[in-house]
Amino acid sequence: MKYTDHEKKQFALAQERSKLNDLPGTIEILRNLVAENPESAMFNATLANSLKAEGDIDTAIEHFQKAVKLAPKSELYSLGLFHSLWRQEKREEAFDEMKRFMSISDSDDYRAIIAEMNAKWSDDTLSPESKPPE
């Protein structure tokens, strides 16, 4: 996707805000970018990551879902959605995303998550509160 000079400048500003640990400022800029260009998977995923860091997981999930829809082969966006769903204890949805991605591509990260879960299940130590490796 091609971005306008304005979008590039705003995204760079959001990155600067993020480096300064200004999460509210980062989110505000990214929300504006998504409003201006809702079809940008990158803007949606970056906003989702910032929202996740802020603790607004439900809204982060919405933006990760949009990013995955726009860029279904992005492992990074898929993993962001998976981990956000898992954090909200939406296990079935998280596994559905894992299966969706693995049906079209391969992922060492997902393979590691599966291996760790298999190891924990075989030890009978995996509880519903367990979380996959990040």
75-89: pLDDT as tens digits: 999 999 999 999 999
- What's the confidence (pLDDT) of residue 125? 52
Closest CA to 47 of 77, 86, 72: 77
CATH class of 1-71: mainly alpha
Put simply, whether the predicted model's pTM sits higher than 0.85 gets the answer: yes
- What's the confidence (pLDDT) of residue 94? 97
**Domains of the chain: which residue ranges?**
1-71, 78-85+92-134
Q: Where are the alpha helices (DSSP H) in the chain?
A: 5-19, 23-36, 41-54, 57-70, 75-87, 91-104, 108-122
31-70: pLDDT as tens digits: 999 999 999 999 999 999 999 999 999 999 999 999 999 9
Q: What is the mean pLDDT of the chain?
A: 93
